[in-house]
Structure 1
Amino acid sequence: MIGAHIQVKGGLARGGLAYTDAVAAGAVQVFVGNPRGWKLTAGDPEQDALFVEGCAERGVPSFIHTPFLVNVGSPTEATVEQSIASITHSLARGTQLGCRGVVVHAGSAVGEDRYDAALAQLHERLLPVLDAVGDSAPRLLIEPTAGGGKSLAATVKDLGPYLAALENHPLVGVCFDTCHAWAAGHDLAVPGGMTATLDALEAAVGPGRLGLVHANDSLDECGSKRDRHTTIGEGSIGVAPFAELLAHPSMDGVPLVVETPSELDGSPSAGHARDIALLCSLLPARASVAA
């Protein structure tokens, strides 16, 4: 289940499924609104239905990525309110679309000495949202950031107290971004580095919490705290760690999506098609993992 964050210009089904086919995606991630704004956009019922049907026909799991502005740990009340509204909306849209997960960045405490207060805020404001959604809701997948600012979770170890603040709610999972982990200081490029990082992730949050991987190479050095994605194999992480990733036991049944440059040789999607094909070529001979 290896795919991409897909382009949906023209509609979730009209544009999104065409892009899915063009890059041979086995999993898809989408935005359901402006990724850099707060506006909550209702879906088009016809496009929604066709998207759900199309994903089911293709056997492709789908995911929603929340807007980048979301930060439940913010000291600014307006930001917290808008973040909660955005997450609630994304979970509702995910339910409508039959999505497997909704990805949200872990966020930041923003100010000095606010880490504990920000985690307490997660417990107070986000936990009730998780308690209120039904059993059919997608999982909320926490994505550690690259480590800039006062990040609430950047290293995989940070995920332990983060999930504890949410009482290890059964609807909470993890989205592991390889570029973010590299930027936060996990040396994935050394032999065994990816394996050790995934072992540490499972030790921090327990088995079965990993719900999605963002497979991205990086333009920067390890520990840079800079989040700049590039084509797999053309960055500082390299190809070999992704083979380690795909062979790790915690990846059994876990989809991957690339968020790498989509354009290549004048084609708007060939970059994603190339990265998906490369990752598929690295798959171990394990029956439970599907490309």
Structure 2
Amino acid sequence: MTPSTLVGGHVFVAGGLAKGGLKYAGDIGAEVIQVFVTNPRGWALSAGDPSEDAKLRESGVPVFLHAAYLVNFGSPTAATLDNSVAVVRHTLRRGVETGARGVVVHTGSAVSQPREDALRQVREHVLPLLDELPDDGPDLLLEPMAGQGQMLCATVQELGPYLEALEGHPKVGVCLDTCHAFSAGHDLASPEGVRETFDALGELAPGRLKLIHANDSKDACGSKKDRHENIGSGHIGAQAFGEIMRHPVAAGVPVCIETPGKVEAHRQDIETLKKLRGA
């Protein structure tokens, strides 16, 4: 852990991307924020407001964008693939316009087709999007899932084949969600589990960890259930987040909560993480 580790959260943007988002960030004490720039549960693309984008860029607050949940480059359905390309292309462009550091995208599922075919689709559809990015544009951050169904990437070890499919492209990074990792079988509740998980991440994806979603888990390790809990109220426990922020692979990597509740709960979670980073 280094003093530069920033702690923040996913923010609500009612009233405008910058106006609403920055106000919520101030209310909860966020030093870094994550926002949606499209409907997270649909395919509709929302045009940005240049004045709001400028305010966000000029705020000095590091920004990450999260692509819609429906994105799945491993889907055997043509319409889902086409929509996934359109949404991620749009979100990456919005990342350029807002000055975002990264765009988080779920790693997806093979659904009903062989894993190799799904990973081939990832390569064919994602690489062209990465090649469109300017050098100073946002990274595309792969977020492994909790392991339910035919998920293409849940454990840290499964990042290896996914990164290989993308030819180790320099604009590809990783966003590790602690609830997802725990539910996929990484025992982050123990110091040994934290060390093993982040050691493996450092070996398989050196230098690629760009964001951590700090979420406790309502369910036990290996449950394959994606149910977030407030920091210290779940099966991972508060102390684990201190261990994570102290691990060399996580040093200086921004931490964002995606926990239940609104202002009071989010402020408390962020205060807890700030205390743990300084412990």
User: TM-score normalized by structure 2?
Assistant: 0.96
> Could you say which residue in structure 2 is the equivalent of 1:235?
234
Give the Cα–Cα distance (whole angstroms) in 1 for the partners of residues 166 and 175 of structure 2: 16
1:34 to 36, 39, 44: 39
Give the Cα–Cα distance (whole angstroms) in 1 for the partners of residues 134 and 95 of structure 2: 12
1:282 to 270, 273, 276: 276
By relative contact order (CA 8 Å, sep 6+), the higher-ranking structure is 2
In the TM superposition, residue 190 of structure 1 has moved relative to its aligned partner by 2.0
Q: Judge conservation of contact 1:246–1:284 (CA < 8 Å) in 2.
A: no
In the TM superposition, residue 251 of structure 1 has moved relative to its aligned partner by 1.5
Percent of aligned pairs with the same residue? 55
Could you give the per-residue CA deviations for residues 144-168 of structure 1, whole angstroms, max 9, x where no partner exists? 0000110010000000110110000
Q: Which aligned segments of 4 or more residues in structure 1 are displaced greater than 4 angstroms?
A: none
- 1:89 counterpart SS class: helix
Give the Cα–Cα distance (whole angstroms) in 2 for the partners of residues 133 and 27 of structure 1: 23
- Within a 5 Å distance, the mapping from 1:266-281 to structure 2 comes to 269-281=263-275
Tell me the matched-pair count. Answer: 274
Give the Cα–Cα distance (whole angstroms) in 2 for the partners of residues 148 and 282 of structure 1: 31
Give the Cα–Cα distance (whole angstroms) in 2 for the partners of residues 271 and 36 of structure 1: 24
Give the Cα–Cα distance (whole angstroms) in 2 for the partners of residues 203 and 102 of structure 1: 23
Letter in 1 for 2:69: F
> Could you say which residue in structure 1 is the equivalent of 2:248?
249
Q: Judge conservation of contact 1:5–1:257 (CA < 8 Å) in 2.
A: yes
| RMSD over equivalenced CA pairs, Å | 1.0
Give the Cα–Cα distance (whole angstroms) in 2 for the partners of residues 91 and 34 of structure 1: 15
> Could you say which residue in structure 2 is the equivalent of 1:97?
98
In the TM superposition, residue 284 of structure 1 has moved relative to its aligned partner by 4.3
User: TM-score normalized by structure 1?
Assistant: 0.92
> Could you say which residue in structure 1 is the equivalent of 2:116?
116
In the TM superposition, residue 14 of structure 1 has moved relative to its aligned partner by 1.4
> Could you say which residue in structure 2 is the equivalent of 1:51?
56
Structure 2, unmatched stretches of 5+, are: 1-5
> Could you say which residue in structure 2 is the equivalent of 1:261?
260
- 2:277 counterpart SS class: coil
Letter in 1 for 2:29: A
Structure 1, unmatched stretches of 5+, are: 264-268, 286-291
